[in-house]
Amino acid sequence: MPRRLLVLLLGLCVTAGCGATASGGSTPREAGPPPEASARAVEPAEAARAFELLDRLDRAWRERDCPAIEELTTWAENTLGGRACEATRNGRPAPARKRYTDAEFFLPATVGADRWFVALARRPVPAYFLFVHGGDDWRLAAGPIPVRGEPREPAGGAVPADDPGTGVEARLAPQRYLTYLTDPAGVSGVTFPKKDAARELFDELVQRPRKVRPDRLASDVRLLVGPERALLLPGGGALVIHALEIEHRQRAGPGRTSLRHPIYGEEVLRGFTGKGRAAGLTGTEIVLLVTEVSGGAKLSTVAARSSLADLTTG
């Protein structure tokens, strides 16, 4: 079957958007090579204080305090706190949030105003967090991103932007996810290990249109523009934090006035739109990813989380 026809049948289309470490309360690990004169590392105590904003953020979600969520977040988490927070005021349950502790901080040297760090919390389950300084205070950019399998511990330093090897592969990692998820025929050559989260997401995109018949479903996959970050791994390679945006458009089949198999439940639909039924809906999901890039441009998903950011009817 021609690839163009196969892509249309699957309903997939693409819009290309295209150091030191420390443990909370413990002694910092041995620092890497001295940073450039213009670079400055986040101090362990500063990172520990920034990590504490998670308690304030959890309280804001419990209280449906959308302005506080807006203030405490940026990038992906800010997107997930907009319409999604408003929906909790309309009856949608607030996200269940765990209290994360036993954090280890990976503190790369940064240049100028670009200050950021990654935290790996061990309890209650391992999860990554990305914090970015917004000019006046720290904000959560991504997290929690639950670990699948064993967590990877960076060597501490950020991947140099001008690195001709690891730097290039780290920058290409998000685009390779995009290529993989929008290539049903598999001609691109991008692959992931068995049981990888990327494979599961691909299977979901392929199978969902079949499962909702006679409804019609099409999906766009694109990169979420923002502060993608990469840290060096011991022995080579990189750990990359990035995100995808997936838009699902579901419409009722011919002759029908409402969806037969809506991909989102009535409670979710009512929270976002005030309606329990619809002839069509458009949902936007954010997929947060932590990816290991190893020798030979091999990719594997270390951590992943998918959340609904917006839902409209029509």
Percentages (nearest 5) of helix, strand, coil residues in the chain: 30, 35, 40
Determine the Cα–Cα distance for residues 173 and 109; give it in Å rounded to an integer: 22
Secondary structure class of 195 (helix, strand, coil): coil
What φ, ψ does residue 102 adopt, rounded to 5°?
Answer: 55, 55
pLDDT along the chain (314 residues), means of 10: 36 39 38 46 90 95 93 94 88 84 88 83 96 90 94 86 81 93 86 94 94 94 88 91 96 88 90 87 96 87 95 88
Which residues on adjacent β-strands are paired with residue 239? 231, 292
Which residues on adjacent β-strands are paired with residue 23? 104
> Which residues make Cβ contacts (< 8 Å) with residue 235, sequence separation at least 6?
none
Q: CB of 206 within 8 A of CB of 218?
A: no
Residue type, 90: N
DSSP, res 147: B
For residue 2, cis peptide bond before it (omega within 30 degrees of 0): no
Determine the Cα–Cα distance for residues 297 and 288; give it in Å rounded to an integer: 20
DSSP, res 26: S
Secondary structure class of 111 (helix, strand, coil): strand
Q: Which two tokens stand for residue 104?
A: 């280890």
What is the reported pLDDT for 55? Answer: 95
What φ, ψ does residue 198 adopt, rounded to 5°?
Answer: -65, -40
What region, left, alpha or beta, does residue 214 occupy, with left being phi > 0 and alpha being psi -120 to 50 degrees? alpha
E strands, the chain, where? 12-14, 20-23, 39-41, 101-107, 109-111, 116-123, 127-133, 138-146, 216-223, 229-232, 238-251, 280-294, 298-313
Residue tagged 């470490």 (tokens): 21
Domain range list for the chain: 3-313
Answer yes or no: pTM beyond 0.75.
yes
Residue type, 80: L
Among candidate residues 38, 160, 33, the one with its CA nearest the CA of residue 111: 38
What region, left, alpha or beta, does residue 182 occupy, with left being phi > 0 and alpha being psi -120 to 50 degrees? alpha
What is the reported pLDDT for 112? Answer: 61
Determine the Cα–Cα distance for residues 36 and 7; give it in Å rounded to an integer: 48
What is the reported pLDDT for 12? Answer: 38
End-to-end CA distance of the chain: 33
